């Protein structure tokens, strides 16, 4: 009879509980989580600010006012100043990137807790407009301005900077400032120097219309650019990190730079501190700053040490009431449909019900299920072996089912066939891996 500890419906009632499915795979194994590289960002906020301060003639009140009062860019000029990017939090997340089907968001599994990076997190941290693109936006603007100063050749980021530094204060200089800003911060290129490609064509067109530069959803553009860079990083490393390499990450990386510290309470408390007198409706990057340190940054080993085994992790960033007002203004109420992904949807169903997704707990239950299934498989195998032994005894008693009826059969052939019959009877059920 079947053992009492069989996986009956009563003992497998966990299936009726909300469950989170593990991702298809992780891009990096845990053995890579401690490996160090140098990340070189292409988000030149400090360089842009220093260039503006050094212009001769100096920046005019009109030029300064255009950036300070810009509905989106003002957040960058009002955020706490820091001479260096602190990117090891971002590297920690990249090493824990989950392989999912969705293309419009990324997920990172930290200590068994999935953390989402979607356009909502990007908007909440950054504060730039993340609504849909206007129709035919790639044809908007004009190339008249850039052709006036650069002709029809390649226009690199450093060419824009050099041209800006030699211009007198004018409406055209403001446009050159905007082009330099966009190519320095919003949508930088992976390569710099003489091998750098041209500034993104859309940016060249956009500066021909400063009104377009005020209303365009730069948040969505920078978000999509960052998703491309995450995908490119996964493809480049292929799950193996060669320590000591320099890896460039272009684009506006601030949201990814801060995500770990916003989602993981212990990291935020250790490395960040609040900024006083900030409007609650401001984006997250204006509300806190990195604590002062003698080092320009901090190593991945320090991040991992503080991370420990903490489970105080938000799967998705929770917005305050004031922040919901900000998000309502700069994001779409309903995002564009993404690829159906039953793994991520299982996580979101749990989150929507107020549960916290912990993949480690799911793994424990799956292990428990495998133990129960093993009990049943052992019982079935025991019955198969018993039947096989009975068949063998019957064959030996009757002289073998393969024996020639006429009595002229080959004795050797009879033994071989009998041996094969025993093998077939005792053949084990293939394992799940074999199937």
Residue 315 has what DSSP assignment? S
Closest by Cα among 231, 229, 232 to 221 = 229
Residues 212-264: tens digit of each pLDDT: 999 999 999 999 999 999 999 999 999 999 998 888 777 788 899 999 999 99
Residue 167 has pLDDT above 70, yes or no: yes
Q: Say if CB 243 and CB 37 are below 8 A apart.
A: yes
Encoding tokens for residue 221?
């553009």
In percent, the amount of the chain with pLDDT more than 70 equals: 75
Q: How far is CA 366 from its chain centroid?
A: 25
pLDDT at 27: 96
- Identify the bridge partners of residue 226 per DSSP, sorted by sequence position: none
pLDDT value for 293: 76
Above 70 in pLDDT, residue 3?
A: no
Give the pLDDT confidence score for residue 219 in this predicted structure.
96
The span from the CA of 376 to the CA of 226, in Å, is 49
Task: Please state whether 307 falls in left (phi above 0), alpha (psi between -120 and 50) or beta.
Answer: alpha
Burial tier of 74 (Cβ tally within 10 Å: 0-12, 13-18, 19+): middle
**Least confident span in 58-62, 87-91, 364-368:** 364-368
Look up the pTM and report it.
Answer: 0.77
DSSP letters spanning 69-97: T-TTTHHHHHSPP-SS---HHHHHHHTTB
Smallest CA-to-CA distance from 245 within 257, 253, 237 is with: 237
Q: Residue 190: which residues within 8 A CB-CB, separation 6 or more?
A: 42, 248, 250
- Please give the Cα distance from 384 to 362 (Å, whole number): 33
Confidence of residue 334 (pLDDT cuts 50, 70, 90): confident
Per-residue model confidence (pLDDT) at position 396: 53
Q: Residues near 318 by Cβ (< 8 Å), separated by ≥ 6?
A: none
Judge contact between 115 and 358, C-beta under 8 A.
no
């Amino acid at each position: 009879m079947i053992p009492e500890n069989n996986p009956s419906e009563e003992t497998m009632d966990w299936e009726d509980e909300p469950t989170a499915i593990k991702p298809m795979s992780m891009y990096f194994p845990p053995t890579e989580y401690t490996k160090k590289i140098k990340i070189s960002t292409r988000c030149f906020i400090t360089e842009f600010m220093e260039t503006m301060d050094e212009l001769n003639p100096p920046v005019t009140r009109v030029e300064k006012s255009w950036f300070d009062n810009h509905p989106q860019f003002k957040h960058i000029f009002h955020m706490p100043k820091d001479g260096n990017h602190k990117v090891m939090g971002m590297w920690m997340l990249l090493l824990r990137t989950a392989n999912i089907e969705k293309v419009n968001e990324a997920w990172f599994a930290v200590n068994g807790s999935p953390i989402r990076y979607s356009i909502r997190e990007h908007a909440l941290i950054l504060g730039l407009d993340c609504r849909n693109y206007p129709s035919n936006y790639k044809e908007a603007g004009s190339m008249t301005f850039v052709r006036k100063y650069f002709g029809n050749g390649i226009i690199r980021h450093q060419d824009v900077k050099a041209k800006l530094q030699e211009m007198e204060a004018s409406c055209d200089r403001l446009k050159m400032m905007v082009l330099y800003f966009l190519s320095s911060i919003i949508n930088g290129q992976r390569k710099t120097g003489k091998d750098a490609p041209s500034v993104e064509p859309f940016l060249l067109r956009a500066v021909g219309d400063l009104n377009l530069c005020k209303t365009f959803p730069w948040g969505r553009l920078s978000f999509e650019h960052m998703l491309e860079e995450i995908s490119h990083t996964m493809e480049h490393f292929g799950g193996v990190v060669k320590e000591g390499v320099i890896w460039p990450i272009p684009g506006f990386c601030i949201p990814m730079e801060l995500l770990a510290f916003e989602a993981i309470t212990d990291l935020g408390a250790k490395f960040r501190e609040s900024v006083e007198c900030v409007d609650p409706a401001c984006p997250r990057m204006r509300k806190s700053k990195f604590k002062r340190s003698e080092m320009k940054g901090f190593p991945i080993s320090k991040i991992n040490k503080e991370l420990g085994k903490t489970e105080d992790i938000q799967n998705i960033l929770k917005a305050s009431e004031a922040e919901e007002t900000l998000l309502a203004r700069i994001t779409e109420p309903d995002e564009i449909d993404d690829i159906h992904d039953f793994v991520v949807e299982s996580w979101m169903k749990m989150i929507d019900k107020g549960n916290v997704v912990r993949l480690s707990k799911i793994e424990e239950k799956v292990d428990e299920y495998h133990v129960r299934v093993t009990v049943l498989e052992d019982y079935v195998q025991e019955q198969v072996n018993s039947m096989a032994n009975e068949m063998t005894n019957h064959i030996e008693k009757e002289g073998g089912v393969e024996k020639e009826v006429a009595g002229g059969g080959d004795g050797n052939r009879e033994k071989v066939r009998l041996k094969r019959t025993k093998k077939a009877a005792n053949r084990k059920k293939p394992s799940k891996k074999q199937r």
